[in-house]
Amino acid sequence: MMEKYLELKKDHQDAIVMYRIGDFYEMFFDDAAIASKALNLALTGKNAGVKERVPMCGVPFHAASGYVEELVKQGHKVVIVEQLSDPKAKGLVERGVVQIVTPGTLMDFKLNEKVNNFIGALGVFDFSYTLAYADLSTGEFYCLNLEKKEHLLRNKIESLGIKEIVVEDDSIHIDGVMMSPFKNETIKDNYKKIFDNINDLKQIKVCANLLNYLIDTQKRELEYIQTIVEVKQEDYVYMESVTKKALELTKNANNEKYGTLLWLLDHTHSAMGGRLLKQWIDQPLISKEKIEERLDLVEVFMDNPLDRDTVTHMINDIYDIEKLASRVAFGNVNARDLKWICSSLKKIPELKQELLSLDHPKLNEQAMQLVDLSCIINTIDEAIVDDPPLVIKEGNIIKDGYNKELDELRDIRKNGKKWLMTFEENEKERTGIKGLKIGYNRVFGYYIEVTKSYLPLVKDEFNYTRKQSLSNAERFVTPELKDMENKILSAQDRIAALEYEIFTQVRQYIKGYVHEIQDVAKIVARIDVFSTFADVSSYNRYVRPTFNDDHIIQIEEGRHPVVEKVIPEESYVKNDISLGQDARIMLITGPNMGGKSTYMRQMALIMIMAQIGCFVPAKSATLPVFDAIFTRIGASDDLISGQSTFMVEMLEANNALKYATENSLIIFDEIGRGTATFDGMALAQGILEYIASHNHSLTFFSTHYHELTRMEGTSIKNVHAGADVSSDSIHFLYHIEDGPSGQSYGINVAKLAKLPDEVIVRADAILKSLEDNNIEEKLQNIEVTPVIKTSAVEETLKGIDPMSLSPLDALSTLIELKKML
């Protein structure tokens, strides 16, 4: 057996091999040493024909899933080796690999998880990256093309939470992600249909490679994989991963859900809805038409609270049928899972009728996609007992009356002795042998015993076959008794085997409807999110946003949706936001802790909520549709890359200046504070001027450089966070007011923090001295008004068709343009 093990291990040097022996999965040699530490198992040894005992450790087969999950979470690949032949047969049990589990292929052992576990595949081409990603537990499959910029790729991988990427060669490395070299771009006929919606050859190649990797590691067909969806980046708001972190969209600073936008909105009643909501928050829409369509459906539920309540109660009774459908096709579904599918599908016709009763065209469209799956309901109801056990190979899962043979076997098991007594009486009557009796021993099984005195009465027509001779009796069998003996003795084993056989037939039948179940799950998820948005919006008094094409933000009594939930309601201060009519940049001054950052984050979250199709926290809100959001909020060193806070700040600012358009939103919190005062101030002013003259983006820019407030003009509007300073103490008003702040109140805040009096007095004296020197007047006062003028070079460029130029012409044209400059 160890020789066979070592032979198999050669092909899986990079993985921990879990080798099935009886009721345990055993690990040997280095695998045992690693697993025993990782799983806190006792490391033992075994004599196996070598000089030293072979190190080994093991886990019970019925509890293996938890151990596998733990090993994979610690970054290991796990190879599952099963017994393929009957262990009761003579000779060595045949064993083989039935599954390879990796970080990306870990089938979620817990249902109702509201997160995806995506595995990716990467294609590196001359001018672009192609990323495919799939979730093995739900069957979802996506692909997209990215501009060939590493930060865009890392941003997407981090956003999706991908832990494993399949690559054609092992030259690519991404921190924190397992890279799995693999290449097979063949598409089998039975999978061609899932490629129907993609035509890009690069995407087809990368998707095929990922699909084949999944089939190769799972050692089975995966026909439940859903049709591949192409994700077009231009359809969604562009956000860097640092922006998502800064705004705490799905994770807070501690990498937890609490206090995030997802935490606020996730009152979904199904796992499918929870996963969809997270995807929507990660990818706000850019299409005004699609946003309005979502808002229309949310409004229907807002206007019909009783119907909404009915719908949410129905969805609450629907299990994670998307994952359950995948389990059916994957082959790891149990009888209880089937009952959950059944009870969930029973809710679908009710849900459909409830949605149709609301009589809204778009809602009707969704409702009509909830197809009738009563054939599955009937099959499960007829076949599976009401409260089945988790184990599917030990019987007690199929209902009485479903299968004639099974009923007979159960009857034999239950009434075997009764049958034998009846058989004995019948034989006595049939043969006239009153001394006949039925007996049993282990060697000969069941028999008819006739004493010597009655032997002359045994006739040929009785069909008795002599089995054993004793001194005073003869023992016989009949075909009927032999048949019953086989039935009685093998009934229990046969019952378990037959029940499993029937269960697999039921599973196979349902497998034919997996894609229909997945389609129903998607509609349930959407309805769940729409009704949840309506619930949250109604409870928190949110309003429907309206959109304009004039780049104008007009928010009346806006609130930060998360902050207002974690502080007493009566103490929350509402704020208006107005930008874009007279100026496109809002310069925000005022004291630390005065509410500047909250005000800017509030704007960003309102924008994201609006563009995912949710109502927003305000009395009224008119917004443009943004194509991207860029932020620089808070201090953070990137120590691993050796970058200081200031360097990180400049890199993030550069991304905004490089890629922001007039349709983008920029939020900069105290840019330039990480360096010397004049350096920082000069950079901040330079950045403001650049945004005003080049990007034209709607921008919120908080600063402590009060000198910058002199820049107010056609592009810049001054506001400040109000504070009340009386009797040398400070009281924050958390209200944003027009005009610049008179000062930063830094010393007042320091006093609030209880710094030593000596420090406060000295700082106050130094401040007065600096103010007396009128440092402000030394700074250049620049009125920023963008000047748009077309140069001769631009005019010449407009008339050039690059595709018609030869290389030599192109070079000479470039020389001429250079001269003109």
803 is in an annotated binding site: no
432 is in an annotated binding site: no
Contact 545, 616 (CB under 8 A): yes
Report the distance separating Cα 821 and Cα 816, nearest Å: 9
Q: How many residues does the chain have?
A: 821
| Amino acid residing at 375 | C
Contact 128, 83 (CB under 8 A): no
Q: Which H or E run contains 121?
A: strand 118-124
The residues near 201 (Cβ < 8 Å, ≥ 6 apart) are none
591 is in an annotated binding site: yes
259 is in an annotated binding site: no
Report the distance separating Cα 667 and Cα 553, nearest Å: 14
117 is in an annotated binding site: no
Distances from the Cα of 43 to the Cα of 38, 270, 627, angstroms: 11, 42, 57
**198 three-state secondary structure:** coil
Report the distance separating Cα 244 and Cα 412, nearest Å: 65
Distances from the Cα of 789 to the Cα of 663, 698, 786, 799, angstroms: 21, 22, 10, 17
Q: Residue 273 class from Cβ within 10 Å (0-12 exposed, 13-18 middle, 19+ buried)?
A: buried
Report the distance separating Cα 602 and Cα 562, nearest Å: 9
The residues near 554 (Cβ < 8 Å, ≥ 6 apart) are 577, 578, 620, 621, 622, 623
593 is in an annotated binding site: yes
**410 three-state secondary structure:** helix
Contact 246, 238 (CB under 8 A): no
The neighbouring-strand residues paired with 736 are: 721
Report the distance separating Cα 206 and Cα 183, nearest Å: 9
The neighbouring-strand residues paired with 643 are: 638
594 is in an annotated binding site: yes
Report the distance separating Cα 563 and Cα 560, nearest Å: 5
What is the chain's Cα-based Rg?
Answer: 37
650 is in an annotated binding site: no
Q: Which of 215, 7, 10 is nearest to 100 (CA)?
A: 215
Helix ranges restricted to H, 358-403? 361-367, 374-383
Report the distance separating Cα 496 and Cα 341, nearest Å: 23
Q: Going by DSSP bridges, is the β-strand pair 95-101/77-83 parallel, antiparallel, or unpaired?
A: antiparallel
Report the distance separating Cα 279 and Cα 522, nearest Å: 13
Contact 449, 467 (CB under 8 A): no
Q: Which residues are annotated as a binding site for ATP?
A: 590-597
Annotated binding site: 590-597
